[in-house]
């Protein structure tokens, strides 16, 4: 009964006129961002963080969450119509979705993607509602030692699931941790790593770093590659609703994809991306006609789309229960909560239940909005795909700069955006994924604070991390992840997945 009463509270919050409006804005904006390749949900949320300062905490987080899972929907549209995924998790959808579009079944492919996403989103939202409260109860037992061990596990998982080599991913995490240390020491009040600049007394601006590394660098990469005219296959969509035969073929892949995505979405790093590729591999192996994959198999759209959307939704579980981000977007959500004066973690559920359950309820409302809006608006998205990039990018940069400046009114932050943008571009050229850097930057100060607090409580004895059962268990799990990462078979399989994605 507690679950039902909590959900009733959540829906009463999410269904208010103001929150419905911001949820609608979020999902439409997210779909738009997903449809336009080269921008991405991470960069968009980073750019919009300054705007959320003026909103109520519940409204701002509902809107940002809507942008995230709306982008998962929108990413499939470009993958199907122009063979260019708007989101990395939609890359596998292009393999069969685009081939279906070339055969005159673009409408069916888009409908399958939307239905699979809605089903996965609904199931994943229920899982969040079911598992978040008990996990919150467990998290309330955590002390400084347990939080430190949990964050170490999270960072190791981020390295394991990052694109490219382990060494590059590890280097990005370490760089993120070092950037997070700049500022004023939390215990002594002494400045450190500030280079003598008073502007760095509070550390690097989180928004400036996120916009630069994810937004500006992506714009530079797209300008380098050139985004000319693209062939759009949406002029004749065909029937929008799948036939009975199509429905029979897509049900099992949707269920399997949802289960896989729900499990992998919780993992730090790239759970949704890994789930989509894992689902595609599973469906191809289980299929009686594997030769159809890559030529327009409906299972190749239904399974991965369900997997990546389920993964996007369940990534909220560690955020809402532990305050630990599972991916760069969740790291931005942590930043948004801190900016609003909310301390992410298990206390949110007990101290601010309207916020906690309002976000969960808004996920289902957002998914319903997406399924109702997306298919009728396909014509608009098709026309938007023809907007030249040389028109879009100056507008994006201008709004990003205004947003970053509005946070503190500090010109130094604009220089930081430019510097981090160039740095992010260099990372992309070196094939270093920036996601581990952002996770390291967000978790670094928390990691340090809990390490020092645990050592103070343990009177300088480092065995405090091993004598507490939960902390020891998490560290053992961390070692197990490292051992699995080093297995030759696992490394080969991981390289195959990410080479396919590239």
Q: What is the mean pLDDT of residues 26-32?
A: 85
Q: How far apart are CA 88 and CA 179, in angstroms?
A: 26
> Strand locations in 168-239, DSSP E?
183-184, 191-192
Q: How far apart are CA 381 and CA 304, in angstroms?
A: 21
Q: Which of 131-135, 187-191, 469-473 has the highest mean pLDDT?
A: 469-473
DSSP 8-class letter at 142: -
Answer whether residue 202 shows pLDDT above 60. yes
Contact 345, 319 (CB under 8 A): no
Q: Which of 52-66, 314-328, 345-359, 414-428 has the highest mean pLDDT?
A: 414-428
Give residue 386's pLDDT. 66
In sequence order, what are the beta bridge partners of 192?
183
Contact 273, 261 (CB under 8 A): no
In sequence order, what are the beta bridge partners of 184?
191
Give residue 195's pLDDT. 82
Answer whether residue 198 shows pLDDT above 80. yes
The pLDDT tens digits of the residues spanning 204-241 come to 887 788 778 877 887 787 777 665 445 555 555 555 67
Q: Which residues are CB-contacts of 265 (< 8 A; sequence separation ≥ 6)?
A: 124, 271, 272, 275, 310, 311, 312, 313, 314, 315, 317, 326
Answer whether residue 502 shows pLDDT above 50. no
Confidence of residue 247 (pLDDT cuts 50, 70, 90): confident
3-state secondary structure of 192: strand
Q: What is the mean pLDDT of residues 247-262?
A: 88
Which backbone phi and psi does 25 adopt, to 5 degrees?
Answer: -60, -45
SS (H, E, C) 459-500: CCCCCHHHHCHHHHHHHHHHHHHHHHHHCHHHHHHHHHHHHH
Q: How far apart are CA 161 and CA 149, in angstroms?
A: 19
Decide: pTM greater than 0.75: no
Among 455, 487, 426, smallest CA distance to 160 is for: 487
Which helix (H) or strand (E) segment holds residue 385: the answer is none
Give residue 20's pLDDT. 92
Q: Please give the tally of structural domains in the chain.
A: 1
Taking only Cα atoms into account, the Rg of the chain, rounded to an integer number of angstroms, comes to: 22
Give residue 389's pLDDT. 67
Q: What are all long-range contacts of 230-233, with beta carbons under 8 Å and residues at least 24 apart?
A: 230/82, 230/84, 230/385, 230/386, 231/82, 232/81, 232/82, 232/382, 232/385, 232/386, 233/80, 233/81, 233/82, 233/98, 233/101, 233/102, 233/106
Range of the domain at 134: 2-501
Q: What is the mean pLDDT of residues 146-160?
A: 82
Torsion of Cα atoms, 171 then 260 then 132 then 320, to 10°:
30
The pLDDT tens digits of the residues spanning 73-129 come to 777 777 777 766 656 667 678 778 878 887 777 778 888 888 888 888 888 888 888
Give the least confident one: 165-169, 279-283, 379-383. Answer: 379-383
Q: How far apart are CA 400 and CA 402, in angstroms?
A: 5
SS (H, E, C) 59-80: HHHHHHHHHHHHHHHHHHHHHH
Q: How far apart are CA 290 and CA 226, in angstroms?
A: 35
Encode 39-75: b = buried (16+ Cβ within 10 Å), e = exposed: bbbbbbbbbbbbebeebebbbbbbbbbbbbbbbbbbb
Left (φ > 0), alpha (ψ -120 to 50) or beta: where does 345 sit? Answer: left
Q: How far apart are CA 489 and CA 484, in angstroms?
A: 9
Answer whether residue 494 shows pLDDT above 60. no
Give residue 382's pLDDT. 67
Q: How far apart are CA 360 and CA 132, in angstroms?
A: 10
Give residue 175's pLDDT. 92
Give the least confident one: 56-60, 122-126, 241-245, 467-471. Answer: 241-245
Answer whether residue 412 shows pLDDT above 80. yes
Which helix (H) or strand (E) segment holds residue 384: the answer is helix 378-384
Q: What is the mean pLDDT of residues 305-311?
A: 85
Give residue 120's pLDDT. 87
Give residue 238's pLDDT. 54
**What are the C-alpha distances in Å from 131 to residues 255, 321, 448?**
19, 9, 28
Mean pLDDT for all residues in the chain: 79
Q: How far apart are CA 107 and CA 112, in angstroms?
A: 9
Q: How far apart are CA 202 and CA 182, in angstroms?
A: 8
Q: Which residues are CB-contacts of 379 (< 8 A; sequence separation ≥ 6)?
A: 234
Alpha-helical regions (H) of 103-191: 106-139, 144-161, 166-181
CB atoms within 10 A of CB 108: 26
Among 201, 199, 198, smallest CA distance to 182 is for: 201
């Amino acid at each position: 009964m507690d679950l039902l009463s909590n959900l009733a509270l959540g829906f009463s919050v999410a269904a208010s006129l103001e929150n419905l409006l911001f949820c609608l804005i979020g999902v439409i904006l997210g779909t738009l961002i997903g449809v336009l390749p080269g921008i991405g949900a991470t960069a968009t949320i980073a750019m919009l963080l300054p705007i959320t300062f003026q909103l109520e905490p519940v409204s701002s987080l509902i809107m940002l969450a809507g942008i995230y899972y709306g982008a998962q929907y929108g990413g499939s549209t470009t993958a199907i119509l122009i063979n260019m995924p708007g989101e990395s998790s939609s890359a596998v959808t292009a393999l069969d979705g685009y081939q279906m579009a070339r055969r005159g079944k673009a409408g069916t492919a888009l409908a399958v993607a939307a239905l699979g996403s809605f089903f996965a989103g609904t199931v994943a939202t229920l899982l969040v509602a079911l598992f978040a409260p008990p996990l919150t109860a467990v998290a309330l037992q955590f002390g400084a030692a347990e939080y430190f061990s949990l964050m170490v596990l999270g960072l190791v998982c981020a390295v394991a699931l990052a694109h490219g080599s382990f060494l590059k991913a590890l280097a990005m995490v370490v760089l993120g941790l070092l950037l997070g240390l700049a500022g004023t020491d939390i215990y002594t009040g002494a400045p450190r790593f500030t280079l003598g600049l008073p502007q760095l007394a509070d550390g690097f601006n989180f928004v400036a770093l996120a916009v630069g590394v994810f937004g500006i660098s992506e714009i530079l990469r797209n300008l380098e590659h050139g985004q000319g005219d693209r062939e759009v296959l949406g002029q004749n969509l065909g029937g929008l609703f799948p036939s009975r035969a199509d429905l029979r073929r897509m049900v099992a892949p949707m269920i399997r994809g949802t289960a896989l995505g729900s499990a992998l979405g919780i993992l730090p790093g790239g759970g949704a991306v890994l789930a989509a590729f894992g689902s595609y591999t599973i469906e191809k192996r289980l299929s009686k006609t594997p030769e159809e994959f890559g030529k327009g198999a409906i299972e190749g759209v239904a399974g991965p789309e369900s997997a990546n959307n389920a993964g996007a939704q369940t990534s909220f579980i560690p955020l809402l229960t532990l305050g630990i981000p599972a991916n760069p977007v969740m790291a931005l959500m942590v930043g948004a909560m801190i900016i609003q004066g909310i301390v992410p973690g298990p206390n949110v559920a007990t101290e601010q239940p309207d916020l906690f359950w309002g976000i969960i309820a808004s996920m289902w409302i957002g998914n319903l909005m997406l399924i109702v809006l997306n298919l009728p608006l396909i014509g608009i998205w098709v026309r938007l795909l023809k907007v030249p990039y040389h028109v879009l990018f100056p507008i994006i940069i201008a709004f990003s700069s205004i947003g970053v400046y509005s946070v503190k009114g500090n010109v130094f932050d604009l220089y930081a955006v430019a510097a981090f943008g160039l740095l992010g571009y260099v990372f992309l050229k070196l094939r270093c994924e920036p996601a581990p850097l952002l996770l390291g930057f967000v978790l670094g100060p928390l990691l340090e604070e809990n390490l020092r607090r645990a050592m103070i409580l343990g009177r300088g004895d480092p065995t405090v991390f091993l004598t507490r059962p939960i902390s020891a268990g998490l560290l053992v799990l961390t070692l197990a992840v490292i051992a699995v990462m080093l297995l030759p078979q696992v490394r080969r399989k991981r390289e195959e997945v990410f080479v396919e994605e590239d």
